Structure 1
Amino acid sequence: MPRSTTGDPTRPPRGPLRRVAVLVAAATAAAVGLSTVPAGTASAGTGAGRTAAPAVTRAALTPSLVAGRGARVDIAEQEAENAATDGTVIGPDRTAYTLPAEASGRKAVALKPGQYVEFTLPSAADAITVRYSIPDAPGGGGTTAPLDVTVDGGHRTTMRLTSQYAWLYNLYPFSNDPDAGVLHPDWWITECSCVPGATTPAPVIPTPFRPNHFYDEQRLLLGRTYHAGDRVRLAVPAGSSAGTTVIDLLDSQLVGAPRIDPLAVNILAFGADPTGHRDSADAVDRAIAFAVRTRLKVYLPPGTYQVNRHIVVDNVTIEGAGSWYTIIKGHQVDLATPAPDSSVHTGVGFYGKDASAGGSHNVHLSGFAIEGDVRERIDTDQVNGIGGAMSDSTIDGLYIHHTKVGMWFDGPMSNLRITRNVIADQIADGINFHTGVTDSVVSDNVIRNTGDDALAMWSEKTEDARDTFDHNTVQTPVLANGIAVYGGTDNTVSANLVADPIREGSGIQVGSRFGAEAFTGHLWITGNSTVRAGTYELNWNIGLGAIWFYALEKNIAADIEVVGDDFLDNTYNAVMLVADFPVKDLYSIDNVHFRDIRVDGTGTSVVSARAAGSATFQNMDARNVGAVGVNNCGSFHFTPAGSEFALTDLGGNDGGGTTGPWLASWELPNTITCDDRPPVAAPPAPSPW
């Protein structure tokens, strides 16, 4: 999403089929920074020479605590802080701009040269993903460093880690230069409590200013299948150039053999280079054109294919051998002159036709990886993994890495199914339904380390309608929200797992902002779990809720049902309803209904209301509440009649904290209880209800 200044955007060869079969068989056979450790560190629980039992987690939680929520994928997550190590556990810490805060579960393991962390496989695996951080170069631009991988003392492989896609600095849209001065001297800066450009003498803002986006991930095929109990050791060589290598987690999985399709149109037959040395974009285009004419599928066999521009797709099925085997990889390319859409770069991506030209239809993409080369955020650039408009289409089983946005769709368009993809390490959003995307579903995707909203429905100009975000796992969005809904009608957010948003956002946001159309009809937010959500809003100087309703540009008055959700280990509030102070007399939040909710741990309150309006509560149970149950400032008018936000108790609202029931009778319907900056009491870890 764009951010505001408050921080809060030809002819083929003949006889292709016989040749394809030969080439497929051949291709398948060939394929078969940190200068100081942050304060607050502690020694690891398992030391050198010890083996830790496999502790499988989901979003750094015991899986039973989030059963039925999140992506249904066969990936075993193991946190480094639970593994055997002679390194140092860093964290926990939820302070933005620190390495522990951006780690899954807010902890990680820091390794010096010569140290290791060792994971015990919980189940059979032939592939791993390592999430890590190494220091930036002193002047920015990243460094590289080795990491040795061994399994049971053998099969040594050296991964080449890089920080070239990490380490951003400064204010939105950020800088790659750690020594850059304040990018927006006309913006309010919390650190100096001033507007630098209007301050005499000019304030000294230390550099690097607001470092962030520390982590990256790499995948590795192990070459054979290993079994439960085998030990994967990640060791930093003694001569590593990285003073510290931070390991956050290891994912392991069994991906199996590459998929082959001898009857499809093989891009090798059209000149594609599986070594990645030559550009294969034109060959892919020729294969697609032939497949469209002959009504066949396109097959991308194992290999790495260099593609440095958009591949435009319409009425075609493109299948890879699997995202671990087929990699479409490109460089970011400078354009000689800006494109009509104001892009100044292009890069690898599969794009539907523009909606103004009718969009694309009947596109089916599956089984390959898209590896981009995006290292800076330029909002006008179309350097996304998937883009354009695609109706009556499916996207399944892709891995999208180092693009600006994993998938950004500009409607109007309808009937898109996005399933079982992994999107990681993006400069901006994970998936964004922008402008008139209807009757579409995003389900069973894993989205980690985005630089903006991980999942968004953005009804700018035309409303998104009847869309569903269901059973997705979102982890560590560095900026903004895990899931955001900006306007629209009859949309659903269900059974998702959202963990560890870092800055200026929440687990789930319902927002009237960014020029979105008003909310109409219904919005269902059902059966989701958030954990360690609700961040500190620098400009407001308050903590946000795990779910955040924000009436900035219009009233929020649709029928909104929040049912069956769990808000776990909330950094500040579980629920926040707010209108920005300059519009507090213009917009309200009404007709929100909470039912069958569990709140396990809040740093401050269960509900914080900083707007006019109303909400109902039924069977909302809370425990381990850090401050008062309800913080009800309303619109800050403090009238004799009470707060301008009314809470209605429909019964069954139980539990609370040291101050008694979280929803006490004396607070209803609109008693003023206004302290929106109480001391924060860190809640205990979530436990079975």
Structure 2
Amino acid sequence: MHIVRPVTCMPSIAVALALAAGTLVALTPAAAQAAAGADLPFTSVEAESAGTTGTKIGPDHTQGTLASEASGRQAVRLSPGQRVEFTAPRAANAVNLAYSVPDGQSGTVAVYVNGTRLTKTIAVTSKYSYIDTSWIPRAKTHHFFDNARLLLGQNIQAGDRIAFEATNVQVTVDVTDFEEVSAAATQPAGSVSVVSKGADPSGQGDSTQAFRDAIAAAQGGVVWIPPGEYRLTSALAGVQNVTLQGAGSWHTVVRTSRFIDQSSSSGGVHIKDFAVFGEVTERVDSHPDNFVNGSLGPGSSVSGMWLQHLKVGLWLMGNNDNLVVENNRILDTTADGLNLNGNSRGVRVRHNFLRNQGDDSLAMWSLYAPDTDSSFENNTISQPNLANGIAIYGGTDITVKDNLISDTNALGSGIAISNQKFLDPFHPLSGTITVDGNTLVRTGAMNPNWNHPMGALRVDSYDSAIEATVRITDTIVTDSPYSAFEFVSGSGRGFAAKNITVDGAVVNRAGTVVVQAETQGAATFRNVRATGVGAAGIYNCPYPTGSGTFTLTDGGGNSGWNSIWSDCSVWPQPGQGNPDPDPTRNLAKGRPATATGSQDVYTPGKAVDGDASTYWESANHAFPQSWTVDLGSNESVRRLVLKLPPSPAWGARTQTLSVLGSTDGQAYSTVVPSQGYRFDPATGNSATVSLPSTTHLRHLRLTVTANTGWPAGQFSEVEAYLS
């Protein structure tokens, strides 16, 4: 690739400078938020940046681990009696705590302001966490975190100290939102109060019929939902030509898992300024456990809402022309945050905050009819824990603009532009797809189905060639675990991804490559600047082999990514660099690792991360335990070096283990029979294993049957060498 000095303006000079300085590490840094994301009424602070008597966990990107789902891939674990103390970043009178507790457990968190314990506590529970989706291939238990909010009952100022203490259960604290909540709004003149129709603001009685009667009485006007809690036992339907208004999302709460469920509406529905809390504890796709399921009709809006513990926030079908969804919070859904499920025209979804979705946070899926002239703009998305931050599946003339997306997990990218149809009749991408001004932080993941990584931004000709014009402009990608831009036919059928332009991008610290091209097609790159690339600039290996080529056209102004990964038989791993025949190279470093079990944050990948101070530890009291690494290709391995952390705190021990090998990952044979290996910190806490000269393997497995120092298998590094 021809590289010349960029001459055009790049997106957000402030953000570019922050990225170059390596400062973009928190969820919503001020510089990034100035360029992308929602206008939010709160400020978030990461627990790992606060003072604590607990234990910091992470960073980790391994599917199924607690740290991998955390904001920033790090959090703080508190045992009872331990605290994490934040410095308030702003004036506030309320907090929202993102946390996790062990499966099956509940408890409370004590709150301290400047050292004084409040009488109020925060209830924490695993009730809405630990979701299993056995019908999704390779999906592990996920959705570990939850959110709990509290009105403090007093005002705090910037600089005040706010501490959270686990009292009776282990709590992992991820992030805290600090907010100054306004007083409750008053009833609009001429509105119909649900209380006047018999609704119970104490939350004890069933207010369903009162809501229905108020809606019927207020046609063309406003239904007022005063401060309080209201319980609905069935969904509302036939909602049209009415405004449903609360006193504010911290003051008016409706408890129901199904608020509106209707297939059609004449429109003119405006829903605003209250909270809906569901009781969804699992994902059942056939159940309409959604805030809105179906249609609000043309010219409707949803704003100022707090939606939590639902399957989906808004699952929108039918006529929703010119719908506006703005300034909402959607938290802890077991599936999507919002999905425009076909036939949406002129829809605007903007300035929303979404955290901890169990599928795509925001999606357009052009089933039955194309979504047309619709957009996702200025949204802030954090921690979708099974799929993408934003996904566009088909549609015509779609815009994804100025969004801030962070910490995707397992099966997703930050943004996916895709022709994956799922069902028919599907309407593939057409017209112009505009992807502009988005910031992607720690997005992309190792896909367990494909067994290879997904990029921060993915263009996917899954079920048919990309015929639309795809314009990707002014993008910021930072700390992607793997690649920045991926072009793939995810079905493995090699459909072309073409008509693509990437113009203006800052890529900082991509774990593997800047461009990951895996199918035939073509893209033009202009003014794409990269620093801190982990392996090479370009991986260009269309699949199936021989199906065609992917042409990268240099439009000028590119820098920092002209190197090419040379071996299509080996996936680049983070920080690995190009493969080479050097016999002194550790073949296992950075390679995918798995195990029969692991303890908490001590995951299999810690034994190949190049850091001898981190380690894998198997499940305790459950021998035998196996640890396996995929070297990427068949190798004549002659020597292993097994390590434990080189610290005197690690007492000498003997681990009894055998070495097995496989060329296909299926059939394993014994390479070195079981024997004891001594690890002693006085001599470096390492052991060397010699392998027979006939050894030829790709998959290396260590099976541990005993450990005199701890009831588990333990390795801080497993190194494999050719000599």
Q: TM-score, normalised by structure 1?
A: 0.77
Q: Who is 2:545 aligned against?
A: 637
Whether 1:320 and 2:282 are equivalent positions in the alignment is no
For 1:217, which of 147, 150, 163 is the aligned residue?
A: 147
For residues 600-626 of structure 1, the C-alpha deviation after alignment (integer angstroms, 9 at most, x for no partner) is: 111111101111110000111111111
Which runs of no fewer than 5 residues in structure 2 stay unpaired?
A: 1-22, 578-723
Q: Who is 1:13 aligned against?
A: none
Cα distance 1:279–1:616, how it changes in 2: closer, same or farther (>3 A)? Answer: same
Amino acid corresponding to residue 147 of structure 1 in structure 2: V
Amino acid corresponding to residue 350 of structure 1 in structure 2: I
Distance 1:252 1:318 in 2: 27
For 1:252, which of 174, 178, 191 is the aligned residue?
A: 178
For 1:269, which of 196, 205, 215 is the aligned residue?
A: 196
Please show how residues 523-602 of structure 1 align to structure 2 within 5 Å.
523-580=433-490, 582-584=492-494, 587-602=495-510
Whether the 8 Å CA contact 1:631–1:676 is kept in 2: the answer is: no
Q: SS at 1:311's partner residue?
A: coil
Cα distance 1:448–1:360, how it changes in 2: closer, same or farther (>3 A)? Answer: farther
Whether 1:364 and 2:270 are equivalent positions in the alignment is yes
For residues 275-333 of structure 1, the C-alpha deviation after alignment (integer angstroms, 9 at most, x for no partner) is: 100010100111111111xx331110000100121122211001100000000003xxx
Distance 1:85 1:580 in 2: 43
For 1:681, which of 567, 570, 575 is the aligned residue?
A: 575
For 1:129, which of 96, 99, 105 is the aligned residue?
A: 96
Whether the 8 Å CA contact 1:478–1:502 is kept in 2: the answer is: yes
Q: Who is 2:419 aligned against?
A: 512
Q: Which moved more, 1:673-682 or 1:226-235?
A: 673-682
Amino acid corresponding to residue 34 of structure 2 in structure 1: A
Please show how residues 280-299 of structure 1 align to structure 2 within 5 Å.
280-292=207-219, 295-299=220-224
Q: Who is 2:36 aligned against?
A: 69
Amino acid corresponding to residue 338 of structure 2 in structure 1: I
Q: Give the C-alpha shift of residue 120 in structure 1.
A: 1.5
Cα distance 1:286–1:65, how it changes in 2: closer, same or farther (>3 A)? Answer: closer
Q: Give the C-alpha shift of residue 167 in structure 1.
A: 0.9
Distance 2:133 2:227 in 1: 40
Amino acid corresponding to residue 480 of structure 1 in structure 2: A
Whether the 8 Å CA contact 1:507–1:530 is kept in 2: the answer is: yes
Whether the 8 Å CA contact 2:400–2:434 is kept in 1: the answer is: yes
Distance 2:174 2:325 in 1: 28
Which runs of no fewer than 5 residues in structure 1 stay unpaired?
A: 1-55, 138-142, 174-186, 190-208, 331-346, 656-661, 684-689
Q: SS at 1:96's partner residue?
A: coil
Amino acid corresponding to residue 370 of structure 1 in structure 2: V
Whether the 8 Å CA contact 2:32–2:439 is kept in 1: the answer is: no
Cα distance 1:236–1:300, how it changes in 2: closer, same or farther (>3 A)? Answer: same
Whether 1:354 and 2:317 are equivalent positions in the alignment is no
For 1:385, which of 267, 284, 291 is the aligned residue?
A: 291
User: Runs (4+) of structure 1 moved beyond 6 Å?
Assistant: none
Distance 1:315 1:375 in 2: 33
Q: Give the C-alpha shift of residue 171 in structure 1.
A: 2.6
Distance 1:218 1:57 in 2: 26
Q: Give the C-alpha shift of residue 675 in structure 1.
A: 5.3
Q: Who is 2:590 aligned against?
A: none
Q: SS at 1:438's partner residue?
A: coil
Whether the 8 Å CA contact 1:360–1:389 is kept in 2: the answer is: no
Whether 1:115 and 2:82 are equivalent positions in the alignment is yes
For residues 645-686 of structure 1, the C-alpha deviation after alignment (integer angstroms, 9 at most, x for no partner) is: 11111111112xxxxxx136xx7xxx9863561131299xxx
Identity of matched residues, %? 38
Distance 1:645 1:57 in 2: 32
Q: SS at 1:437's partner residue?
A: coil
Whether the 8 Å CA contact 1:267–1:284 is kept in 2: the answer is: yes
Please show how residues 600-611 of structure 1 align to structure 2 within 5 Å.
600-611=508-519
For residues 196-242 of structure 1, the C-alpha deviation after alignment (integer angstroms, 9 at most, x for no partner) is: xxxxxxxxxxxxx93321100011111132211222111112xx1x2
For 1:80, which of 42, 47, 66 is the aligned residue?
A: 47
For 2:124, which of 157, 161, 169 is the aligned residue?
A: 161
Q: Give the C-alpha shift of residue 502 in structure 1.
A: 1.0
Whether the 8 Å CA contact 2:25–2:72 is kept in 1: the answer is: no
Amino acid corresponding to residue 277 of structure 1 in structure 2: Q
Q: Who is 1:178 aligned against?
A: none
Q: Who is 2:320 aligned against?
A: 413
Whether the 8 Å CA contact 1:57–1:79 is kept in 2: the answer is: no
Cα distance 1:326–1:308, how it changes in 2: closer, same or farther (>3 A)? Answer: same
Whether 1:374 and 2:336 are equivalent positions in the alignment is no
Q: SS at 1:308's partner residue?
A: coil
Q: SS at 2:334's partner residue?
A: coil
Amino acid corresponding to residue 320 of structure 1 in structure 2: G
Please show how residues 43-54 of structure 1 align to structure 2 within 5 Å.
none
For 1:305, which of 226, 230, 248 is the aligned residue?
A: 230
Amino acid corresponding to residue 235 of structure 1 in structure 2: E
Please show how residues 319-338 of structure 1 align to structure 2 within 5 Å.
319-330=245-256
Q: TM-score, normalised by structure 2?
A: 0.73
Cα distance 1:472–1:675, how it changes in 2: closer, same or farther (>3 A)? Answer: farther
Cα distance 1:636–1:517, how it changes in 2: closer, same or farther (>3 A)? Answer: same
Distance 1:675 1:637 in 2: 11
For 1:151, which of 109, 113, 133 is the aligned residue?
A: 113
Distance 1:676 1:492 in 2: 35
For 1:646, which of 543, 551, 555 is the aligned residue?
A: 551
Distance 1:365 1:595 in 2: 39
Q: Give the C-alpha shift of residue 553 in structure 1.
A: 1.1
Q: SS at 1:361's partner residue?
A: coil
Distance 1:59 1:628 in 2: 26
Cα distance 1:635–1:135, how it changes in 2: closer, same or farther (>3 A)? Answer: closer
Q: Give the C-alpha shift of residue 380 in structure 1.
A: 1.1
Whether 1:470 and 2:377 are equivalent positions in the alignment is yes
Whether the 8 Å CA contact 1:148–1:236 is kept in 2: the answer is: yes
Please show how residues 229-240 of structure 1 align to structure 2 within 5 Å.
229-237=159-167, 240=168
Amino acid corresponding to residue 354 of structure 1 in structure 2: S
Aligned-residue RMSD, C-alpha: 1.9
Aligned residues: 548
Whether the 8 Å CA contact 1:498–1:530 is kept in 2: the answer is: yes
Amino acid corresponding to residue 300 of structure 1 in structure 2: I
Amino acid corresponding to residue 530 of structure 1 in structure 2: L
Distance 2:194 2:572 in 1: 61
Q: Give the C-alpha shift of residue 126 in structure 1.
A: 1.0
Whether the 8 Å CA contact 2:418–2:429 is kept in 1: the answer is: no
Q: Give the C-alpha shift of residue 168 in structure 1.
A: 2.0
Q: Give the C-alpha shift of residue 101 in structure 1.
A: 0.6
Q: Who is 2:400 aligned against?
A: 493
Distance 2:140 2:454 in 1: 19
Q: SS at 1:127's partner residue?
A: strand
Whether the 8 Å CA contact 2:110–2:117 is kept in 1: the answer is: no
Q: Who is 1:617 aligned against?
A: 525
Distance 1:497 1:570 in 2: 14
Whether the 8 Å CA contact 1:571–1:682 is kept in 2: the answer is: no
Q: Give the C-alpha shift of residue 636 in structure 1.
A: 4.0
